[in-house]
Structures are given as C-alpha cells and as structure tokens.
Amino acid sequence: MKKEFSVQTHSTSELIDITQEVEKAVAACKVKDGICAIYIPHTTACVCINENADPSVQSDIRNTLDKLIPRDAGYDHAEGNSDAHVKASIIGSSRIILIESGRLLLGRWQGIYFCEFDGPRKRKVILKVLGS
C-alpha cells in the first residue's frame, strides 16, 4: 500500500520529526509484519533516523553538516544550493523500517526525520508498506 503526505519546511536547513505521521500511515495499512519504505522524491532533501529525545542532536547534525559542506564553497552548480544537493546525497533519500506486531521497529530513542537543506518549501514524503 502506498501513502503520501506533505511536509512544510520553514527555514533553509531543518530536521522535522515525521515519526508520528509515518506511524499513522503504517497503522492505517493494518500490516502486522512487514516493512515500511520511506522515500523523499527531492534532490535537496532527505530522510534519516536518529535520536528524538534530545533536540540538540538535530542542531548538532545540521551544524556539523554545515561545517563539513559549507554553503559557499565554490561549487560549479550555479543555483546556489549545491551544498543541499551534497548533504542530501550523503544522508540518502530513503530508509527501510521493519514493522512488527503492527508497529515500526524503531529503537527506544529513535525518530524519523525529514531533512531539509534548501527551504523553505512544501515537500512530499512517499511511503510504501508491504507485509501481512
């Protein structure tokens, strides 16, 4: 079963916790055991799984990526968002999460983050839920 939802970002770079939206979509599919594929169909945004208990982890990720991949580093791509393309490529546009007993099999401190690097924009998240 395929599900989609939108994410509105509000700044150039941000991580938005989408765990609850993904959990709701999985519950609506009524799959007890299977997988949930999460796909971000954008070249300057991506998805990651990381700690969602301490919000400083999100800022640490953003700040580290900004230091490693600065916005103005003399890129050939002329649109001014090359850093966003590189960051999204490194993190990745998709994730697979196991579903067990109808729930996402995430670790105690894990959450799913939509990562924006070229906002603000209205973005799309696509899920594919497979199983029984």
Residue 119 lies in domain: 17-131
Q: Is residue 3 part of a domain?
A: no
Residue 78 has a pLDDT of 87
Return the H-helix or E-strand segment holding 47.
strand 45-51
Q: Is residue 124 part of a domain?
A: yes
Instruction: Give the CATH number for residue 37.
Output: 2.60.120.460
And the tokens for 42? 């954008």
How many domains does the chain contain in total? 1
Residues 13 and 9: their CA atoms lie apart, in Å, by 9
Q: Is residue 54 part of a domain?
A: yes
CA-derived radius of gyration, the chain: 15
pLDDT of the chain, 132 residues: tens digit per residue: 999 999 999 999 999 999 999 999 999 999 999 999 999 999 999 999 999 999 999 999 999 999 999 999 999 998 999 999 999 999 999 999 999 999 999 999 999 999 999 999 999 999 999 999
Residues 132 and 126: their CA atoms lie apart, in Å, by 20
Q: Is residue 97 part of a domain?
A: yes
Burial label, 34 (beta-carbon count in 10 A; 0-12, 13-18, 19+):
middle
pTM of the model: 0.96
- For residue 6, the one-letter residue type is S
Q: Is residue 50 part of a domain?
A: yes
